[in-house]
Amino acid sequence: MTNRTIFVTGAGRDIGRSIAERLGKSKNFVIFHYASSRIGAEQALERVMQSGGNGAVIQADLRDSEGPETLANKVVEVLAGRPLDVFVSNAAIAAASPLGQTELTDIQAMTMVNLLAPFELINRFAPHMSDGGAIITLSVAATQRIFSPDFAYFSATKAAVDCLVRHWAVALGSRGIRVNAIAPGVIEANFRAQLLQDAAFRHELESATALKRVGQIDDVVDVVEFLTSAESRWITGQVIDVSGGWKI
């Protein structure tokens, strides 16, 4: 699908960057958001341009109370009147929150980035979305069956957005806009890439996964790409497990 306008948050590294690069092919225009990974976002845009696409890079710290509004304003300015065809809400903070040991600043940061930012951005972008467009949020399989006291609040923020996905799907369905979430399991990216170098830790995770391996970034990106395509036209309001059968 060509000549689409796409916006991805947290697109400077790892999963977000790979999503933006993949969707940016075939002459699409991609807006890369980053908080601190400027070089990664710029390199990703360069790769998109080399493959025939184009785009822009925008910085905003979503932990800041004014961050989502600032980002939304910048994106609308870049759109310059054209519709937004695909919005992928990927940016997130996964901080531990053990009871009795968690600072309020950590709770506030996760609330802003994981919950309030997606809500505010989708709220602002709804009038700018093209009819028949797609909105995808990145969730986590842990909200459905893994209950960890150390990451309770992170999971709660993701579960809240999973709920909102269904409400948004109903609200935007009359315009043919599909809203879905993807819930990955353990992916070999971010801080987990280093943890997975521990053979015992890796074996433990693989043993708890039906497909007996750790997920790769492309396992997620392929599903994101599918949900932006015409082949997924009858799928909306869903939280799709992309975990290889982790902990089932």
Domain 5-189+216-242 has CATH 3.40.50.720: yes
Give percent above pLDDT 90 in the chain: 81
Q: Is 135 helix (H, G, I), strand (E, B) or coil?
A: strand
What are the extents of the domains in the chain?
5-189+216-242
Q: How high is the pLDDT of residue 191?
A: 65
How far, in Å, CA of 32 to CA of 119, rounded? 19
How far, in Å, CA of 45 to CA of 36, rounded? 15
Q: How high is the pLDDT of residue 80?
A: 96
Q: How high is the pLDDT of residue 136?
A: 98
Q: How high is the pLDDT of residue 144?
A: 63
State phi, psi for 36 to the nearest 5 degrees. Answer: -130, -15
Burial (Cβ within 10 Å: 0-12, 13-18, ≥19) of residue 215: buried
Q: Are 20 and 102 in contact (CB under 8 A)?
A: no
For residue 96, how many C-alpha atoms fall within 13 Å in the half-sphere facing its CB? 8
**pLDDT tens, 162-183?**
999 999 999 999 999 999 999 9
**pLDDT tens, 200-215?**
989 998 999 999 999 9
Q: Are 67 and 60 in contact (CB under 8 A)?
A: yes
How far, in Å, CA of 198 to CA of 186, rounded? 14
State the pTM of this model: 0.95
Q: How high is the pLDDT of residue 248?
A: 83
**pLDDT tens, 10-42?**
999 999 999 999 999 878 999 999 999 999 999
